[in-house]
Structure 1
């Protein structure tokens, strides 16, 4: 009994140290964003600001016409939300089709689909750009919303979750006269909400943090999302670390809030039977 208690204390201490190591850079960044550039560049280490100021945020949001941070932030919200909704629509229907619908070559087609995960995503850059350019989507939001909406990993994740739902529920619905769409909408969809929440979380975060693809297909500064926009901001304010830190924290806010909201569903999705009552 005493050994178990000592083990728990040691485990708690180790986890607390790891937590501090992970959270310290974030705390430092938050406090640094309220310091003046002179104080940041001063020799020596000081965690808390001696003179608190919001000048970095005012300059970032309202003091620079060549770096429209508010427009970048709004663009990222539009792009990420639209991309997430499209992902949920495509992935849920595709996963249902690969589990509940019976057609010739279904398993072979899904195996080929899984095989595409072996190729690095960078191989798709040139083909995707050619497709987007042919459709006339370059320098538009569609160029960053549509590509990647049918992610194979997301389809696999939702498919595995649906496989844990008994088919007897479908058969009972068929006896009551339900068609395929009604089975999907009234039975399957409510049960897979936890895993769809996780897919939405991953999709929103991935779209929000994407840097390379938006930098390739969008050339207009006003249409940039915030992640490639921050790269321009870093080059412009290289000697002003406070503004760069404030911009990074501003970009962090939506994903941080999203994780806080979705953490319960994330834990539920870890069990393939979590939707079954």
Structure 2
């Protein structure tokens, strides 16, 4: 978020949360995460108020930011994000502000599972898109039929549907299914993607979503599908992991971020 002017409105919002301002690590994390919410809205990866994105705050172990329940993704602001602890309790503003700090229970269960088990992953995204749900309901899951899908070849986990994720006991099974991967299809439910940064998580969910869209479109055509040979599948998967990947991810994030910044500074309030 470097290079963005810090105005009086943003300063007031930061101070209401007890934060020092533009250089505050938590405020920067809030602004970046709010931008990501708005980006997912731009790319039509929302489901009213029922999906969620979370991110850690550096230097605050055991805490992460997640959306206040009831705020639509396209209107998300830095001050709308709630910092929660390992029990899902808001850790700012005190108990009297609890109604305004409500978070989705299923969101807490899913995101806390990943944050507790995978300290290498900074940001976690969960979506219920039409294409993601459609592929999650298919027996064979994501097929290696597109370049986008091959990014995940051999690197995609699956978790069986257990009903709405309200039980914290499911967390152990969810992270066991995720293993060392960064992306997962939640059977009959949707998609999950994570990354070492907000930029990396956005890159994962964007490609996974597009892979699902391509698969559903290809299947709708009714023609027999062509699959690359195994050697090519493995080669393409390796190519996505080359030494330039981090630079490409950051470049893509900065380009996408301009879409949000062009809407004005509202997300930073």
TM-score of the aligned structures, taking structure 2 as reference length? 0.23
Q: Going by fraction, where is helix more abundant, 1 or 2? A: 1
Q: Going by fraction, where is strand more abundant, 1 or 2? A: 2
Higher Cα radius of gyration: 1
Higher RCO (C-alpha 8 Å, min separation 6): 1
